[in-house]
Amino acid sequence: MDTAHYSNDISAVIEADRAHLWHHLIQHKPFETIDPRIIVEGKGIRVWDARGKEHLDAVSGGVWTVNVGYGRESIANAVRDQLIKMNYFAGSAGSIPGARFAQRLIEKMPGMSRVYYSNSGSEANEKVFKMVRQIAHRHHGGKKWKILYRERDYHGTTITALSAGGQPERNGQYGPFTPGFVEVPHCLEYRSQYPHAADYGRAAADAIEAVILREGPDTIGAICLEPVTAGGGVITPPEGYWDRVQEICRKYNILIHIDEVVCGVGRTGEWFGYQHYGIKPDFVTMAKGVASGYAAISCTVTTEAVFEMFKDDASDPMGYFRDISTFGGCTAGPAAALENMRIIEDEGLLANTTAMGARLMGNLSALMDKHRAIGQVRGKGLFCGAELVADRSTKEPIAEKLAQAVVADCMAQGVIIGVTNRSIAGFNNTLCLSPALIATPDDIDEITTAIDGALGRVFG
Ligand SMILES: Cc1ncc(COP(=O)(O)O)c(C=O)c1O
């Protein structure tokens, strides 16, 4: 056995990292003088870094992923057993965990019917975009090829997923983009674009209809929306928004694609975020929480009606969904996802998420009395945001570096929180909290106590 990989000499690891690793989403110049962060261990809601410092992770692996917490031996065992029996075969064939997880998943999603496996949220969304385009070719005479997306939403990192991205700072310098993606306005009432609207939810949805009419309803095949916008500012929808969005989509025969990459699999206290709002989607995509990061898996879930559109003419050699994701055939993903789902059920984590989410929102709201820098708190379940402002009456956002100073102060205290980052220029000012669904009342209080201290130090 090559033992070099298991060296205890962490300084060699740090040097290897500094010399050869290209970290995600970060400027590397500072690593010439400071050490890159390396996380070496996790248990429950806590992680330890290379220096042995313990942290409470209030963002589930940095990007709201590790829903059931770290160190789950039962998931590791399920994956190990499956890999020894059968690790991989291309997705043109089925697998035992693949079929079983699809069945369990569909049980949680009344109205949905088919599961298509791939490896990342971006890829799951791309599958929908391809399906919509193929439906346009096969069933609408080439019309209905455009896809609507919303300002502030994010759907992934590939060029086409960025084409559906409503966060200009994520997209900047990566164009030109894929044609046929059209933006609709965001629905964040705190940053109201319709100050005179009596019914904000309706006004925000009507803004979508205005775009549809401008583009021509016969050009638009689908709309892709996050149920609660994540990295764009933790935006919960205003009252009545989704009812009206669905009414509009039905009117113009536009398919609804809900991106549950963040909200899916328990994060908001329901299995899926859309289930809070009575949405009847045609497509649902999910990734992060599906296996809590124990294996790479994403799912594109469709209704049977969508699926039928790809098998209506078996004599047409081009008529089925001619797509493959090589690693969508890995069995580790569904094996981990099955055990992940069992844990959520057996440990009552949906109920815990609702209860702990209410505590988190309550604690954050209480901090508003003390810290005028908090302009608004928003959230659903264990997915919360606190928007920081320089002035409550004008709602002027605080400078980005101050929001980052709050995050850095919490980190120094041993609590990892997030902040919207390189999404919308001038509006990277929302603290983000998404602890594992196993969080206890003490964990929640520890998170908000750290934020309380940080706000006091940063804003005085
Ligand atoms: C809402 C949403 N959709 C899609 C993605 C892309 O997922 P992935 O990074 O797995 O490609 C993300 C990633 O953060 C996301 O937040």
Q: Which single residue is written with the structure tokens 């999603």? A: 109
- Give the domains, in start order, of the chain with CATH numbers: 37-68+348-459 (3.90.1150.10), 74-346 (3.40.640.10)
User: If you measure from the C-alpha of residue 141 to the centroid of ligand 1, how many angstroms do you get, rounded to a whole number?
Assistant: 32
The reply to whether ligand 1 has any atom less than 6 angstroms from the CB of 152 is: no
The pLDDT tens digits for 252-277 are 999 999 999 999 999 999 999 999 99
Q: Is the CB of 121 under 6 A from ligand 1?
A: yes
pLDDT for res 7: 47
Q: 368 CA to middle of ligand 1, Å?
A: 30
C-beta of 155 in contact with ligand 1 (< 6 A): yes
Mean pLDDT of the chain: 96
* Ligand 1 lined by 273 (C-beta under 6 Å): no
pLDDT-derived band of residue 9, with 50, 70 and 90 as boundaries? confident
| Nearest protein CA to atom 8 of ligand 1, as residue | 121
Ligand 1 pocket member 63 (CB < 6 A): yes
pLDDT (tens digit per residue) in 358-387: 999 999 999 999 999 999 999 999 999 999
Q: Are 256 and 280 in contact (CB under 8 A)?
A: yes
* Residue 124 CB-density burial (10 A; 0-12 exposed, 13-18 middle, 19+ buried): buried
CA 56 to chain centre: 20
Pocket test of ligand 1: the residue of 224, 257, 262, 274 to mutate, having most ligand atoms within 8 Å of its CB, is 262
pLDDT at 4 over 70: no
The structure's pTM equals 0.97
Could you tell me where the beta strands, DSSP code E, fall in 39-160?
A: 39-43, 46-49, 54-57, 114-118, 146-150
CA–CA gap between residue 449 and residue 427 (Å, rounded): 24
Question: Are the C-beta atoms of 336 and 104 separated by less than 8 Å?
Answer: no
Question: How many angstroms is it from 315 CA to the middle of ligand 1?
Answer: 37
**Using CA atoms, how far apart are residues 353 and 371, in angstroms rounded to an integer?**
26
Q: Provide mean pLDDT across the span 165-182.
A: 98
Q: How confident is the model at residue 8 (pLDDT cuts 50, 70, 90)?
A: low
Tens-digit pLDDT profile for residues 18-30: 999 999 999 999 9
**Residue 237 clears pLDDT 50, i.e. is over it:** yes
Helix axes 332-346, 96-107, angle to 10 degrees: 40
3-state DSSP assignment of residue 110: coil
Q: What distance in angstroms lies between residue 293's CA and the mean position of ligand 1's atoms?
A: 13
Instruction: Report pLDDT digits (tens) over 183-211.
Output: 999 999 999 999 999 999 999 999 999 99
Beta bridge partners of 415: 56
Testing ligand 1's pocket by substitution, the residue of 67, 119, 122, 274 carrying the most ligand atoms inside 8 A of its CB is: 122
What is the percent of the chain with per-residue pLDDT over 70, rounded to a whole number? 98
pLDDT attached to residue 319: 94
Using the mean position of ligand 1's atoms as its centre, give its distance from the Cα of residue 33 in Å. 31
Per-residue pLDDT at 1 exceeds 80: no
Whether the Cβ atoms of residue 318 and residue 62 lie closer than 8 Å to each other: no
